[in-house]
Amino acid sequence: MSKDAKLALIVSDSAKAQAGAHALRESHPWVSPQDADVLVVLGGDGFLLHVLHEMLEWDRLKPVFGMNLGTVGFLMNGPAGPVPLAARVAEAHRVPVRPLCMHATARDGGTFSYHAINEVSLLRETRQTAKVEVRINGRVRMEELAGDGILVATPMGSTAYNLSAHGPILPLGSRMLAMTPLNPFRPRRWKGAILPESAEVEFRILEPEKRPVAAVADQKEVRDVATVRIAASAEKELTLLFDPGFTLEERIFAEQFQV
C-alpha cells in the first residue's frame, strides 16, 4: 500500500473511541469513505464487523485498518503510537476475508439473503430439540442431526462462536469452512466437519411446526426457517490490514496454543 493512499476515519460512538479519535483527526488529511483508498476504523471487533457489513453493500470494496479502542480487539491493530499512521498502513500485511452468503426460506415462503463474515448459525427457538437434514453439494450427508443447532464458520469466524462450541480453528488462507454442531443429541459423538470453501451447504428443518429454528448470519436473524443455503461469496472478498508481526494469522496460532 502506498504512503500516499487516501485514508478515511470511521469512529465508533463509544467514549473511548471518540476520545482516541480527537488527536488522530489533527494528524492526517482525512477524506470521505467514498473517496478513500483505505478505511481506518476505531473501536472494537463488533464495530469493525458492522463497518465491514455496511461496506458489502458498496460497489467498491476497500481495505480496512482497524485500531483497537474497544474491549477484545481480536481483529484490530494496536492504538496510535509513535509511528505515523500513513506509514503503518503502507507497511501493513493484507489478509483476504471471503464472507458467506446465506439464503434462507421461511416457513411462510419469505426469502432472505444476508452475508456473514464470521458464521451462519441455526438455533432452536423453543425447548424442543432442533432436527436438521444436512446436504452438501446437493447430496444428503446427514439425514437427521438433533441438538441445539449447527453452524458454518469462515476461517476468521472459526475463533468466535465456533471455537466456543468446540469447533476447529481454521488457518487464514486455508479456503476451508468449519461445520460444527451445537450440543448434539444425535448423533451424540459427531464433532462436525471441515469443508472446502467451494462447498454449498443446505440445511432442511425437520418437523418445523413442532421444532422451529432460527437462522442467524452474524447479527441478521431469520426466524421459523424451512431451508437455509450457504456458500462462500467470491465476488465480495474483503481485505483487512494488520501491522507487521501483529497479524491475525499470528493471533490464530496463539489461540491454538493457549493453556
Show which residues are catalytic: 45
Q: Does 14 appear as a known binding residue?
A: no
Q: Does 114 appear as a known binding residue?
A: no
Burial of 76 (0-12, 13-18, 19+ CB in 10 A): buried
Q: Does 119 appear as a known binding residue?
A: yes
User: CA-to-CA distance for 230 and 115, rounded, in angstroms?
Assistant: 9
Q: Does 46 appear as a known binding residue?
A: yes
Q: Does 77 appear as a known binding residue?
A: no
129-133-138 Cα angle (round to 5): 160
Q: Does 166 appear as a known binding residue?
A: no
* Grid coordinates given for 190: 459427531
* Grid coordinates given for 247: 497479524
Q: Does 45 appear as a known binding residue?
A: yes
User: CA-to-CA distance for 46 and 27, rounded, in angstroms?
Assistant: 25
Distance from the first to the final alpha carbon of the chain: 37
Q: Does 13 appear as a known binding residue?
A: no
Q: Does 68 appear as a known binding residue?
A: no
Phi, psi of 34 (to 5 degrees): -65, -30
Q: 42, 36 in Cβ contact below 8 A?
A: no
Q: Does 56 appear as a known binding residue?
A: no
* Grid coordinates given for 106: 421461511
Q: Does 161 appear as a known binding residue?
A: yes
User: CA-to-CA distance for 230 and 202, rounded, in angstroms?
Assistant: 6
User: CA-to-CA distance for 43 and 69, rounded, in angstroms?
Assistant: 4
Q: Does 129 appear as a known binding residue?
A: no
How large is the greatest C-alpha to C-alpha distance in the chain, in angstroms? 60
The binding site comprises: 45-46, 50, 118-119, 148, 159-164
Binding site feature residues for NAD(+): 45-46, 50, 118-119, 148, 159-164
